[in-house]
Amino acid sequence: MNPFRWSYRVTYLVGFLICVGLLGFALYAEHVLAMIPCPLCIFQRIAFLFMAVFFLVGAIHGPRGKGGRWFYASGVVLGALAGMATAARHLWLQTLPADQVPSCGPNLGYMMDAFPMAKVLKMVFTGSGECAKLEPILGLPMPAWTLLWFVLLAVLAIRAAASRRS
């Protein structure tokens, strides 16, 4: 089956299933492989969840007009851009020399309870020591894989929105 000839609905359903599969793997990595997620990892999960919602609603709705298709594609791309920025920052933290890695901070749950959202975002994107920990999967760190998937899913959404197939 040629993915370049899939209908809009099938393409968006596949995008949804990929997002769910990636979120499932994140939970597997956390609970089975004991890879504790840092705040940046959690934000990347939220971006995949955001994209999954737009993929699913787009697949169910299956708009015929370009306006509706571009609305759903915009939602997916917005989630992908947020995820790409988060994953890129995460990768940058992982490339820092050991003496330049920020010290470990509080976990995300505590920060959400104790600080306003603007301060939480600033603290998360400033990074912390647990975000710099390298745990490769198939030779690449997890943020490299997520960055790749964010790009591929954004391209998938744009391609489906631009397609003339129903």
User: pLDDT tens across 98-154, in order?
Assistant: 666 555 556 666 666 777 777 766 666 665 555 656 677 778 888 899 999 999 999
pLDDT class of 1 with cuts at 50, 70, 90: low
The mean predicted confidence, pLDDT, of the chain is 83
**Residue 83 burial (C-beta neighbours within 10 Å; 0-12, 13-18, 19+):** buried
Tell me which amino acid residue 59 is: A
The whole-number pLDDT of residue 33 equals 86
44: Cβ contacts below 8 Å, ≥ 6 apart: 83, 86, 87, 90, 143, 146
In the predicted structure, residue 157 carries a pLDDT above the cut 60: yes
- Domains in the chain: boundaries: 3-162
> Alpha-carbon distance 124 to 111, whole Å?
9
The whole-number pLDDT of residue 153 equals 97
> Alpha-carbon distance 19 to 49, whole Å?
7
β-pairing, 136-137 vs 140-141, is antiparallel
**CATH, domain range 3-162:** 1.20.1550.10
The whole-number pLDDT of residue 59 equals 93
